[in-house]
Structure 1
Amino acid sequence: MNLKGFHHLTAVTADAPGNHHFYTKNLGLRLVKKTVNQDDTSAYHLFYADGAGSPGTDITFFDWPVGRERRGTHSVTRTGFRVAGEESLNWWQKRLAAEGIAHEKIAEQAGRLTLNFEDPEGQRLALVADSEGEAHPWDQSPVPAEHQIRGLGPITMSVPDLRHTDVLLTKLMNMVPTGSFAGTHVYKMGAPGAVGELHVTVDPTLPPAQQGAGSVHHVAFNIPYADYEAWADRLRSMKVPNSGPVDRFWFKSLYFREPNGVLFELATDAPGFATDEPMDKLGTTLSLPPFLEGRRAQIEAGLKKL
């Protein structure tokens, strides 16, 4: 029961049209699913991923009318995206500069060249040189295929105290500690490269974060569809408070909080985003799970245009 790395990461925006422009036009990701928050249908839930909508490649956003995040601990603090290598990082550094996007210099972090930057709402992101795994470029991306984002990883979270979080990561989730750098501890999952790395920074001096635009809502870890019931049993047997089984239609989920309050999700690698749309039409219309289909007219009337 090893995790297959990250499945997706869900963040918060207060500007769905601006968010859509940045992630598709500036970063060149594909909108693979345009839907709504299943628990709050007034809000978009937008999924951006690689050309095939592969698990482990998508960053998703809830669109809520909120102010900016107050940064702090007990939170996910940076989302990594993998690109092919140093040549791609150099290409991206020039692109970010040309687009006026705030960014740092390329530097080594956890043994990989990394380019930190932010989106217009202050969402903290990074591009990481890592060519592990398959790439599925999007043929309509404004970014050349060889430089396109290949997927997620690593993802960094902040906690004031590592002890109980470490127990959950290693004993429940079967992650392996592999070292540390600059106060950040690296945990490895059962996937090659950065998509299988969770970075945990320990800083007891920071105040608790307050969610808002630019914050991360939760991080989801990739599990095989066949292991879903076993993971539900594992959470129950280890007495971890959790959501119980949740069917999101495109994947099945289990939600729980790690000891410092960061919301985790286990999400299955199937059935996938092509369940209700042809692969070449992903994200082109509002997609609703069957239990919301009867409310389509009402839901569409409450959504802004992208």
Structure 2
Amino acid sequence: MIQPISGIHHITAIASDPQRNVDFYTRVLGLRLVKKTINFDAPDVYHFYFGDERGSPGTILTFFPFSGASKGKRGMGELTFTALSIPKESIPFWRKRLKGFGIPVSDTLQRFGEEVIRFTDPDGMGIELLAVTQDARTGWAGASVPEEHAIRGIAGATLNLRDPEPTAALLTQVLNYRFEQALPGKRFRYGIEGKPGEAIDLVVQDPPDRSIQSAGSVHHIAFRTATMEQQVEIQRHLQNQGVPVTEVKDRSYFKSIYFREPGGLLFEVATDSPGFAIDEPLESLGTRLMLPDWVAPQREQIESKLKPIRVNYQEPWTN
């Protein structure tokens, strides 16, 4: 019996300008930069992690900012919208705040009985703010967003697919998801226990063209599991199902396995531990470039290739 996946661990996207990326997610959305490190596969590229005070699993958005990258094209075979949880009464606050920064915001949408507003980040990544009635998570109070309106974490994600059935089978048979509800012929929601941070919506061909991955595109979505033992059990089950899956990879702050779901999106299963305080004190998370042991001797060379990043949570944002 496979142990349960408990929801979404993090979502990773591609950005272009590193400073603009940091400014938007800290100054506009009020998230904390909990880790500043490098792309392990491209050490001359940053890897930023944003989340709540601790970078708790289920609150984390991460980015690979490739300077000068062109914008990607949203489409089929892609995670098109990342939904973030806000308190139910906070839609007016966020609409006013985003418009104050000159960010176009959608009308308030109604979906599965929930209010949603949509916008994009500076690279075109699709973001939704979802007004959630019950979310026990607390937002970070260290930025310019008042604590009562702060983002609580990830609410869910929308996957755009040609055929949702094979992906639905993977979710239900391997990742312990279950079908919850549908909007006629178009959107199918899957969850675990109906809590914030779980929802996966499968949408059929909207938009219908194939996506092109670059800045503003989601690179992968990671699901969370409590232990390495559970992760290995899921890995074995995938192998038994004939799904190509990687070996366990050490990402310093969690262990990961990767595989492609039938629609082509990259999925990850990541462990909850050890977390982001393993190499920095909680009070100073994200303030220093942290390097894995295997490249630490090359710090001077790596830092010389990375544009210095300034973080100021209170200063007004300008695009």
Establish whether TM, by shorter chain, passes 0.5. yes
The counterpart of 2:81, out of the listed 61, 71, 78, is 78
In structure 1, which of residues 187, 191, 200 is the aligned counterpart of residue 190 of structure 2? 187
Query: Residue deviations 1:65-119, cap 9 Å, x none?
Result: 321111210000000000111x211111111111111111222112211111111
Report the CA distance shift for 1:185/1:287 in structure 2 as closer, same or farther (over 3 A): same
Of residues 23, 27, 33, the one that matches 1:25 is 27
1:54 aligns to what? 56
* C-alpha distance in structure 2 between counterparts of 1:140 and 1:166, whole Å: 39
Matched residues in 2 for 1:194 and 1:135: separation?
9
Name 1:227's counterpart in structure 2.
230
Q: Which residue of 2 aligns with 1:4?
A: 6
Q: Deviation of residue 260 (structure 1)?
A: 1.0
- 1:66 maps to a residue whose letter is A
2:114 is equivalent to residue 112 of structure 1: yes
- Stretch of structure 1 that moved more, 260-269 or 158-167: 158-167
Give the C-alpha shift of residue 213 in structure 1: 0.9
For residues 207 and 185 of structure 1, the distance between their equivalents in structure 2, rounded to whole angstroms, comes to 20
Q: Which residue of 2 aligns with 1:158?
A: 160
Question: What amino acid sits opposite 2:261 in the alignment?
Answer: E
2:16 corresponds in structure 1 to: 14
Q: Identify the residue that residue 295 of structure 2 maps to in structure 1.
A: 292
Partner of 2:208: 206
Structure 2 residue aligned with 1:259? 262
CA shift for structure 1 position 237: 2.1
Instruction: Judge conservation of contact 1:73–1:209 (CA < 8 Å) in 2.
Output: yes
Contact persistence 2:21–2:65 (CA under 8 A): no
Identity %: 38
Task: Give ranges in structure 1 of 5+ residues lacking alignment.
Answer: none
The RMSD of aligned alpha carbons is: 1.4
Unaligned 5+ segments in structure 2 are 310-319
Secondary structure at the aligned position of 1:280 is classed as helix
**Structure 1 equivalent of residue 199 of structure 2:** 197
Task: Report the counterpart of residue 39 of structure 1 in structure 2.
Answer: 41
Report the residue type matching 1:3 in the other structure: I
Q: CA deviation at 1:205?
A: 7.0
What residue identity is the alignment partner of 2:253?
W
> Higher mean Cα deviation, 204-213 or 255-264?
204-213
Secondary structure of 2:295's counterpart equals helix
Q: How many residues align?
A: 304
Contact in 2 for aligned 1:130/1:193 (Cα 8 Å): no
- The structural deviation recorded for 1:234 is 1.8
How far has the Cα of 1:228 moved from its partner? Answer: 2.1
Matches within 5 A, 1:83-162: 83-85=86-88, 87-162=89-164
String of CA shifts for 1:222-262, please: whole Å, max 9, x gaps. 11124122222222222210112111110000100001100
Partner amino acid, structure 2, of 1:51: E
Paired amino acid for 2:124:
G
The letter of the residue matching 1:145 is: E
Shift in Å, 1:138? 2.5
Report the Cα distance in structure 2 between the residues aligned to 1:80 and 1:289, rounded to whole angstroms. Answer: 30
Distance 1:58 1:279 in 2: 16
SS class of match (1:290): coil
Write the deviation string for residues 145-197 of structure 1: whole angstroms up to 9, x where unpaired.
1111000021001001122212211112121111112511101124x423111
Task: Select the residue among 298, 301, 304 that pairs with 1:301.
Answer: 304
Structure 1, 125-134 or 254-263: larger mean CA deviation: 125-134
Please, what TM-score do these two structures have when normalized by structure 1?
0.95
* Alignment partners' CA distance in 1, 2:253 and 2:207: 40
